[in-house]
């Protein structure tokens, strides 16, 4: 019998905490606390506390959290914001939404995070901010980024959508920049059962402006200080997230254990590039991404063995049709360009068994050694 290996298994996680989740959902329904209310307040407080940040402004999804932060930081038409060439499109599309201009910077050849060494070349008199992404769960080089930001008086929004509890020099990501954006999309390391997001900040005035903008421009019903948007975390999602939050450390540890098991079993595999851990980073492995010259053939081989893989992401941002207007060429971002045809994300989730893991590594070894 073959063991099939899904890329992720949200239902398996639900089953481990089913009674708590079911009770939390029933409680929200019983009290009709669907929008704002005690569940949202409680989650905001406990997430801020876990992260060691003063303010948590919840919102409808991770994409909105980036937009809300940029709007509250006062992005103006023509303002340039630097984003990595390799990320999910939320990172860059929200710059445009906020009225700014997207300026891409290449990512590091080994770690996939924005390369600070290439950043200064992108900075102009119009640059206002930087959005480093802790991609795949690994911290970007925050010391170098914060130094550049301070030198040029730029704000920094950390995109932590894939990096809940990831560390950089022993400090949790999301605590370095002016604000930190989080997604609780179901498949993220901390996932709701629908869309959900939040922004963290230690700046009380910024937190107020973000909360106000997310809630139709007013914190008190009827008192609209500005025009805003409707981007709220709902009570059901907040209650579900509050059930899951106490498990996050354990689930993160399990992801890290699976990643080290992968790395030790695959370390001598010919032609396979394993994830590189940056010197100062302790990644949380939202994704475990390998590289291979014959990536598509490898993915097909795994699929035939009922092992599900994903490409995150098949086309780097500057080369997407959405950014054709910027007129970039592959040589503008050689690392991101090279990665897009080589990267493959292997199954990883806390409930994955060692038996499933060895099915994956055996199949990869066979492919790579031509058996
Ligand atoms: C998931 C993700 C987002 C956006 O989150 P949503 O909740 O899906 O809107 C932003 N940035 C990155 C890097 C992501 O992976």
In this structure, the residue with its CA closest to atom 2 of ligand 1 is: 161
**Domain edges within the chain:** 10-245, 247-368
Dihedral sign from CA coordinates of 50, 7, 157, 96: negative
How far is residue 202's CA from residue 187's CA, in Å, rounded to a whole number?
Answer: 27
Could you tell which of 8, 60, 63, 182 is best to mutate to test the pocket of ligand 1, judged by most ligand atoms within 8 Å of the CB? Answer: 63
Read off the pLDDT of residues 9-23 as tens digits, 9 standing for 90 and up: 999 999 999 999 999
Strand positions, DSSP E, the chain: 55-59, 80-84, 101-105, 127-130, 155-159, 167-168, 171-172, 179-183, 197-201, 272-273, 281-282, 288-292, 343-346
pLDDT for the residue numbered 370:
85
- The whole-number average pLDDT for the span 187-215 is 98
Could you tell which of 60, 62, 184 is best to mutate to test the pocket of ligand 1, judged by most ligand atoms within 8 Å of the CB? Answer: 62
CA of 258 from ligand 1 middle (Å) equals: 23
Could you tell which of 58, 90, 114 is best to mutate to test the pocket of ligand 1, judged by most ligand atoms within 8 Å of the CB? Answer: 90
- The whole-number average pLDDT for the span 328-351 is 98
247-368 and 10-245 share a CATH fold: no
| Assigned CATH topology for domain 10-245 | 3.40.640
Q: What proportion of the chain, given as a percentage, has pLDDT over 70?
A: 99
In this structure, the residue with its CA closest to atom 10 of ligand 1 is: 90
Atom of ligand 1 nearest to the CA of 197: 7
Read off the pLDDT of residues 23-38 as tens digits, 9 standing for 90 and up: 999 999 999 999 989 9
Whether pTM exceeds 0.85:
yes
DSSP, residue by residue, 93-153: HHHHHTT-EEEEEPBPTTT-SB-GGGTGGG--TTEEEE--B-GGG----HHHHHHHHHHHT
The highest-level CATH class for domain 247-368 is: alpha beta
């Amino acid at each position: 019998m073959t063991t099939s290996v899904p890329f992720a298994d949200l239902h398996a996680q639900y089953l481990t905490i089913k009674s708590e989740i079911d009770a939390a959902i029933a409680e929200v329904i019983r009290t009709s606390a669907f929008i704002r209310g005690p569940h949202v307040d409680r989650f905001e407080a406990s997430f801020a506390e876990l992260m060691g940040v003063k303010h948590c402004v919840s919102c409808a999804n991770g994409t909105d959290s980036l937009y809300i932060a940029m709007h509250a930081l006062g992005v103006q038409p023509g303002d340039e914001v630097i984003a990595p060439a390799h990320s999910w499109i939320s990172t860059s599309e929200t710059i445009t939404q906020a009225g700014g201009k997207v300026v891409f910077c290449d990512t590091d050849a080994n770690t996939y995070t924005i390369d600070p060494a290439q950043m200064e070349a992108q900075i102009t008199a119009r640059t206002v901010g930087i959005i480093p992404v802790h991609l795949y769960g690994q911290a970007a080089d925050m010391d170098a980024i914060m130094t550049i930001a301070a030198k040029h008086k730029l704000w920094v929004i950390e995109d932590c959508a894939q990096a809940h509890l990831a560390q950089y020099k022993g400090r949790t990501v999301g605590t370095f920049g002016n604000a930190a954006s989080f997604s609780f999309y179901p498949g993220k390391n901390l996932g709701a059962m629908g869309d959900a997001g939040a922004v963290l900040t230690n700046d009380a005035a910024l937190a107020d402006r973000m909360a106000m903008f997310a809630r139709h421009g007013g914190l008190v019903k009827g008192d609209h200080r500005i025009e805003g948007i409707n981007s709220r975390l709902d009570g059901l999602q907040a209650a579900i997230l509050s059930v899951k939050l106490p498990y996050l450390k354990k689930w993160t540890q399990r992801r890290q254990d699976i990643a080290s098991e992968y790395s030790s079993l695959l370390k001598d595999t010919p032609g396979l590039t394993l994830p590189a851990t940056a010197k100062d980073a302790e990644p949380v492995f939202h994704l475990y991404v390998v590289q291979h010259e014959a990536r598509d053939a490898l993915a097909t081989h795994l699929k035939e063995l009922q092992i599900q893989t994903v490409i995150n992401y098949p086309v780097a941002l500057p080369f997407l049709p959405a950014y054709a207007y910027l007129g970039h060429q592959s040589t503008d971002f050689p690392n991101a360009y090279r990665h897009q045809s080589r990267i493959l994300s292997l199954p990883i989730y806390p409930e994955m068994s060692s038996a499933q893991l060895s099915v994956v590594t055996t199949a990869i070894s066979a492919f790579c050694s031509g058996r």
